[in-house]
Structure 1
Amino acid sequence: MGLILQVFGAYVVTVTSGIIFETPKHLVLQSGFIGALGYLVYLLSLHYTGSAVATLLSGMIIALLSHIAARLLKSPVTIFYIPSIFPLVPGVGIYKIAYYYILGNTNLAGKNFVESISIAGAIALSIFFVDSFLEVYNTVKIKFKKI
């Protein structure tokens, strides 16, 4: 039950951030589905890996599904990327950095800093990997059509 509730929460977060960023109304539910599916991958892979690797895997799923949705629905890919990534953003980690730093516990602040930077880097890398793979795939596909 807890897993379903968390995935539903990710869906709500994605839809809400889509509304805030003025995603077209007919695409809000699709971006919510992508965000919820990405967060489900995060939760399932978190049991086997660390948070940064789980974020990388779920970010890659979000990026791939965003590209597929963009092509099928003839929309810019960022309409799906931006709201769907929100459930993965390390907001609590960033809060803990400031909290522990104010308390004077620099060890815990540093630990949370490294973890938050790792998660943020995993988000960026996941988008980079999928975009680069699709760019290479499309280039190779065009080259082979000419032959």
Structure 2
Amino acid sequence: MLIQVIGAFFSVVAFSFLLHVPRKYIIWAGFTGAVGWWIYLFLIGINLSVAMSTFLSGCLVSLCGQIFARVLKAPVTIFVIPGILPLVPGAGMFRIAHSVIRSDGMTSYYIIQTLIVAGMIALSIMVVDSIFRLFLKTKGDCHVDRR
């Protein structure tokens, strides 16, 4: 498991270069992805479903991104977008293409599984972002009634 977490860290760091993340934030983005992948592997190891494991690890990635953004005074997307890379269902997309080519009748199953995982990633980011917007308002979020 440690080798996979280290691999996730370096893959996120490399992906951060492709996304032109500023150099001073690349290590933090790598940490975000590694922590997310570690919790995913841990949850899968205790026999939690893939969907729930993806959701909870996506929540952790988003939470780390929100915290790092506030501490380091940077946009949240600098940490969250690279950080979700290990969770993205690339193997599911490969299985879909392979199943279509082989015509083995499993295509719809793979499509549904891949969409569930992708949906859980999106949902986890949205939930954590919504919680932060509700409870941690900044000066710019203040609305004044000018009647």
TM-score normalised per structure 2: 0.90
Q: Which has the higher helix share?
A: 1
**Corresponding residue of 1:95:** 94
Instruction: List aligned pairs for 1:1-147, cutoff 5 A.
Output: 3-47=1-45, 48-106=47-105, 108-139=106-137
Q: Displaced runs of 4+ in structure 1, greater than 4 A?
A: none
Deviations along 1:27-74, one digit per CA (max 9) or x if unpaired, are 101110111001000000112311111010000000001000001111
Task: Tell me how many residue pairs correspond in the alignment.
Answer: 138
SS in 1 for 2:119: helix
Q: Once the 2 structures are TM-superposed, how far is the Cα of residue 24 of structure 1 from its aligned partner?
A: 0.4
**Alignment RMSD (CA, Å):** 1.4
- The separation in 1 between residues aligned to 2:10 and 2:89, in whole angstroms, is 17
**Which amino acid is 2:57 matched to?**
S
**Corresponding residue of 2:145:** none
Deviations along 1:101-143, one digit per CA (max 9) or x if unpaired, are 111112x21111111000000000000100111111125xx99
- The separation in 1 between residues aligned to 2:25 and 2:55, in whole angstroms, is 24
- The separation in 2 between residues aligned to 1:44 and 1:131, in whole angstroms, is 24
TM-score normalised per structure 1: 0.90
- The separation in 1 between residues aligned to 2:74 and 2:133, in whole angstroms, is 18
Q: Name structure 1 gaps, 5 residues minimum.
A: none
- Percent identical pairs in the alignment equals 37
Deviations along 1:82-114, one digit per CA (max 9) or x if unpaired, are 1000000000100110111111112x2111111
